[in-house]
Chain A
Amino acid sequence: MLMALTIANLKMIARNRQALFWAMVFPLIFVVVFGLFRFDEPLEVNLLVVDRAQDEVSEGLIASLSAVERFNVAVRQDEAELRRELEDGNGIYVLIIPEGLGPRLAQGPAATPVEITLLYDRANQSAPIIIGAIQKFIDNTNQSIVQAPTMLELRPQGVQARQFTYFDFVLPGLVGMGVMTYSIIGVASAMALYREQKILKRMLATPLRVRTFFAAQIMAFLLLSVVQAVIIMAAGMLLFNGHFYGNFLYMMALVVVANVVFLNLGFIVGAVAKNVRAADGMANAISIPMMFFSGTFFPNENLPKIIATAVEYLPLSPLLDAMRGVALDARPFWEYPGELAILGAWIVVSSVAAVRVFRFS
């Protein structure tokens, strides 16, 4: 009986286009969007040099600037035109080397310093980093000219063992988001519809046990959420080169556990809402803010402290934290007892509430 009902539920889900849209297309749109936009592409700097000196020293300077990684260096003549380009806001940097650079350096350290002008767009957010880099380059050149010994040296050492991109960060978020939105909206509107059309009451007139009915609903949605998670991960990894370092089964275990909470929320909304429309609206009102506040797209450390702490207790946050731990740090899910405890509390509270508020007619 349970199997027959579960299969019937799956059939209905598969034939319901609107529900399928929420289940599959909606999260996949996000996968495509985040896959196409390269948010963390390394910075490229277009450095245009106006060389008024045109001597050996200035040419040497330009040659070594060109050798710097991610610097696209080009020599141009017309300073006025470059200033216009800058004003148009195309993010270029203009370096002006004054006349007579070589002869003045030849005078040795006693001479007044030579001014090299750097023009940049003040609205450009990466400007301070670029200016710093050019400054450091000038300092080094300076040092080698006066032949000062190097006393201190910074040796940068990357400790990030695995390379992951912003997309890799977002992908588990999209899995969590997809499962959450579909479960809440899918269950809420199904329950509201079944009640509106008296299907629940009709089932009550048969010997079917109420718990069997619920078990079949939950089974169908849990099965679907696993399929959904696999599709989202596969799309991200195959189409957009996303990375996943952990155990996929751990990820699925987290999805299934957290989904119980979302399904319960769906049952609650479905019971409280007056009709199908109201159920859809309420389900959206719950899932969309949660999707943003629980760190689907950006780490919620960026939120004000109080809010960041508060949203940690939403059911989506611990799920995403644990999923990212599994996906990016390759840790097993049981290394996240805090997150699992929050999810466990949500399961208990939401189950009790769902049973309390549920009604057949």
Chain B
Amino acid sequence: MTEAIQVEGLVKKFGAFTAVDSVSFTVRQGEVFGILGPNGAGKTTAMEIIEGIQEPTAGRTLVLGTDTHREQEKVKERIGVQLQASAYFEYLTLTEILNLFGRFYPRHLPPMELLAKVGLMEKAKATVGKLSGGQKQRFTIAAALVNDPEVVFLDEPTTGLDPQARRNLWEFVQAIHKEGRTIVLTTHYMEEAQLLCQRVAIMDRAKIIALDTPNSLVRRLPVPYEVKVMAEGPLPTNNLEALDSVRGVEFDGEGVCHLRSADAARTLQALLAWANGKGIRLAHLEVVPANLEDVFLALTGHQLRD
């Protein structure tokens, strides 16, 4: 099976500024691949080069085995693109826009089928201006599917949406993925990458600094877990640091003790034995795995969103 996308030594410079610096990665067919990074990391530029909208300074990109820049049209016929914060013609209805865009492709899906995919059937005769923020984003996804593409690119599909609209959009993305399409999406929301993506490339300052499944990325952290514990009485503060695999202890204002742990299983065993031995009854016990935010912080020394 050919790879959905191959990126080899991609470089993009704007004058003295390097937006994308020697980036290489591969996206497998049928996976949801996320590019996670802060604003200005180069995610959009890299994606637009793969889509054939921008020309690279160096390197090459293949989509479904075809060179994006040698055979632009062939690639464009097989991909669907949602651009970051783009609008559509304000004086056409949703159906008219989908019909028009369909005409640009040799093969295209009927507008009503596309609107059904994103739950916008009842808005078929409305104009884009009459849609809410979430509906607009869903419509841009419908428009990206107009040619029944094998690979779909979504550039920050949930930026600017409220939490409910965001969750709602995730469901549509997962449904599109289930149809067998490969999805590449950029985001600066770690929970989005964690939930939707099989593999995530973390990008910062024009480079990819890590690439793996969300779980592996987290597991590779030196301290990938946090154990939250609360006793029925006050918890003795000493000795906790000596427990197996514990790398740090903190108390918050509510009497909850946070143990940073390199190995949750060992820490839990040691903690339970310790509590038993001292006759301490535990009121609450919880293991929280670290997330991609922590991975990003550990890799770069700065926050994903600052």
Binding site for B on A (CB under 8 A): 1, 4-5, 8, 11-12, 15-16, 197-199, 201-208
Q: What is the minimal beta-carbon distance from B104 to any residue of chain A, in angstroms?
A: 4
A-B contact count (CB 8 A): 61
Interface residues of B in 85-117 (CB under 8 A from A): 85-92, 96, 99-101, 103-105
**Residue of A1, A197, A203 with most partner-chain B CB within 10 A:** A197
Complex alpha-carbon distance, A201 and B88, angstroms: 11
A199 proximity list for chain B (CB < 8 A): 86-89
In the bound complex, do residue B100 and residue A205 qualify as a contact, i.e. CB atoms below 8 Å apart?
no
What are 29 A-B contacts with C-beta separation under 8 Å?
A: A4-B100, A4-B103, A5-B100, A5-B103, A8-B89, A8-B92, A8-B96, A8-B100, A11-B92, A11-B96, A12-B90, A15-B91, A197-B86, A197-B87, A198-B84, A198-B87, A199-B87, A202-B81, A202-B83, A205-B51, A205-B53, A205-B76, A206-B81, A206-B101, A206-B104, A206-B105, A207-B77, A207-B104, A207-B105
Binding site for A on B (CB under 8 A): 51-53, 73, 76-77, 79, 81, 83-92, 96, 99-101, 103-105, 143, 147
In the bound complex, do residue B81 and residue A205 qualify as a contact, i.e. CB atoms below 8 Å apart?
yes
Known: A11-B96, A207-B76, A207-B77. A202 touches B104 (CB 8 A): no
Complex alpha-carbon distance, A11 and B90, angstroms: 11
In the bound complex, do residue B73 and residue A207 qualify as a contact, i.e. CB atoms below 8 Å apart?
yes
Q: What is the minimal beta-carbon distance from B149 to any residue of chain A, in angstroms?
A: 11
B89 proximity list for chain A (CB < 8 A): 8, 12, 199
Nearest to A190 among chain B residues (CB) is: B89
A11 proximity list for chain B (CB < 8 A): 91-92, 96
In the bound complex, do residue B96 and residue A206 qualify as a contact, i.e. CB atoms below 8 Å apart?
no
Complex alpha-carbon distance, A16 and B84, angstroms: 26
Complex alpha-carbon distance, A206 and B143, angstroms: 11
Complex alpha-carbon distance, A202 and B88, angstroms: 9
B96 proximity list for chain A (CB < 8 A): 8, 11
In the bound complex, do residue A1 and residue B104 qualify as a contact, i.e. CB atoms below 8 Å apart?
yes
Complex alpha-carbon distance, A5 and B143, angstroms: 16
In the bound complex, do residue A16 and residue B91 qualify as a contact, i.e. CB atoms below 8 Å apart?
yes
In the bound complex, do residue B83 and residue A205 qualify as a contact, i.e. CB atoms below 8 Å apart?
yes
A-side interface mostly: helix
A4 proximity list for chain B (CB < 8 A): 99-100, 103
A8 proximity list for chain B (CB < 8 A): 89, 92, 96, 100
Checking B79, B81, B103, B147 against A1 with a beta-carbon cut-off of 8 angstroms, the contacting residue is B103
B88 proximity list for chain A (CB < 8 A): 197, 199, 202
Known: A11-B91, A16-B91, A206-B105. A198 touches B52 (CB 8 A): no
Complex alpha-carbon distance, A204 and B52, angstroms: 8
Complex alpha-carbon distance, A12 and B51, angstroms: 28
**Residue of A12, A204, A206 with most partner-chain B CB within 10 A:** A206
A1 proximity list for chain B (CB < 8 A): 103-104
B52 proximity list for chain A (CB < 8 A): 205
In the bound complex, do residue A202 and residue B86 qualify as a contact, i.e. CB atoms below 8 Å apart?
yes
B147 proximity list for chain A (CB < 8 A): 206
Nearest to A200 among chain B residues (CB) is: B86
Known pairs A198-B83, A202-B81, A204-B53 / 12 extra A-B pairs, C-beta < 8 Å: A1-B104, A4-B103, A5-B103, A11-B96, A201-B83, A202-B83, A205-B53, A205-B76, A205-B79, A205-B81, A206-B76, A206-B147
Nearest to A197 among chain B residues (CB) is: B87
A15 proximity list for chain B (CB < 8 A): 91
Complex alpha-carbon distance, A354 and B260, angstroms: 62
B51 proximity list for chain A (CB < 8 A): 205
Complex alpha-carbon distance, A330 and B86, angstroms: 51
Complex alpha-carbon distance, A1 and B103, angstroms: 6
B101 proximity list for chain A (CB < 8 A): 206
Nearest to A12 among chain B residues (CB) is: B91
Q: What is the minimal beta-carbon distance from A199 to any residue of chain B, in angstroms?
A: 7
Nearest to A19 among chain B residues (CB) is: B91
Known: A204-B53, A205-B51, A206-B76. A198 touches B85 (CB 8 A): yes
Known: A11-B91, A11-B96, A207-B104. A201 touches B86 (CB 8 A): yes
Q: What is the minimal beta-carbon distance from B84 to any residue of chain A, in angstroms?
A: 8
Q: Which 10 A-B pairs have the closest CB atoms?
A: A198-B86, A197-B87, A205-B81, A15-B91, A12-B91, A206-B104, A208-B104, A4-B103, A207-B76, A207-B73
Q: What is the minimal beta-carbon distance from B234 to any residue of chain A, in angstroms?
A: 59
